[in-house]
Amino acid sequence: MRFTTSIALAGLLMLQGTPALAARPFVTDDARLTTAGSCQLESWSRLYADSHELWALPACNPQGNLELTLGGGRAHHEGAAGTSDYVAQLKTLFRPLDTNGWGWGLALGTIRHPQVNPGPNLLGNTYAYIPTSFSLLDDRIVLHANLGWLHDKASRRDSSTWGLGAEFGLAPQLLGIAETYGDNHGTSYGQLGIRISVLPELFQIDATLGQQMSGSGSSRWISFGIRYTPDKLF
């Protein structure tokens, strides 16, 4: 289960058209992977007052402890041409998350913005982060924390990124979601939402409401997403 951490990684990038590679609807990532020998698909739409985004991020885990994510998104702003972004990420775990236990890992990725970073070098923003998760009360509450780094190619600026998230059981097939994330430049965001297991362990839908909490600028959004997680594909 994946980033995010998308645009300043855990979400600062997402508000600039880059997703965090985390299990929907989180921006803060967890210490879990896509099922070994299988793939998953996460797709969502994020709506702002004057723009909207559509993302699709497939991920596969061929051998058991290395997840590869390749995907992208399209953003449309009022009065401007649409823009595209492309994401590639590798993620591994050093300690998988167990029930009533904890786990941690490492993720490395790059985000390409063709309209922002044209030319033969296809690499755009580069990032890395450490996802850590804690299971409490037999998984009824699971906490996530991220600490990361982001290099913005356009501005040549490095940022430290962070994220804190919680998922908590509300009903047998319903999870509540709460999180906040930001960077060392004083920008932060927060969101609340739900995830519904329409077909447990196979197909989920989600929705969130979020807004910028600090830093220059202001934004609010609503998002809707799906997550398809088949047990075995190869």
Q: What is the pLDDT of residues 24-75, one digit of tens each?
A: 899 999 999 999 999 999 999 999 999 999 999 999 999 999 999 999 999 9
Q: Which of 12, 85, 93, 80 is nearest to 54 (CA)?
A: 85
Q: How far is it, in rounded angstroms, from Cα 137 to Cα 7? A: 33
CB within 8 Å of 22: residues ≥ 6 apart: 1, 2, 3, 4, 5, 10, 28, 29, 30, 131, 144, 165
Spatial contact of 233 and 38, defined as CB atoms under 8 Å apart: yes
Q: How far apart are CA 208 and CA 24, in angstroms?
A: 10
Domain ranges of the chain: 14-228
In whole angstroms, give the CA distance from residue 46 to residue 90: 24
**Is-contact 78 50, C-beta < 8 A?**
yes
> Which SS3 state, helix, strand or coil, does residue 138 take?
coil
DSSP tally for the chain: helices H, then strands E: 0, 12
Q: Distance between CA atoms of 159 and 134, rounded to whole angstroms?
A: 25
Q: Provide the 8-state DSSP code for 31.
A: S
- Give the tens place of pLDDT for each residue, 223-233: 999 999 999 88
pTM: 0.88
Contacts of 199 (CB under 8 A, 6+ apart): none
Q: How does the average pLDDT of the chain come out, rounded? A: 88
Q: Which CATH number fits domain 14-228: 1.10.3720.10, 1.10.287.1060, 2.40.160.40, 3.40.47.40?
A: 2.40.160.40
Could you give the count of Cα atoms lying within 13 Å of 80 in the half-sphere of its Cβ? 12
pLDDT digits (tens, 9 = 90+) for 88-115: 999 999 999 999 999 999 999 999 877 6
Locate 91 and state its tokens: 């993620």
Distance of CA 17 to the CA centre of its chain: 12
Question: Tokens for 139?
Answer: 């998984």
| Distance from C-alpha of 166 to C-alpha of 146, rounded to nearest angstrom | 12
pLDDT value of residue 18: 41
pLDDT value at 122 more than 50: yes
Tokens describing residue 81: 């041409």
| Candidate ranges 2-6, 91-95, 118-122, 157-161; pick with highest mean pLDDT | 91-95
**Does the pLDDT at position 21 exceed 90?**
no
Neighbours of 73 (CB within 10 A): 24
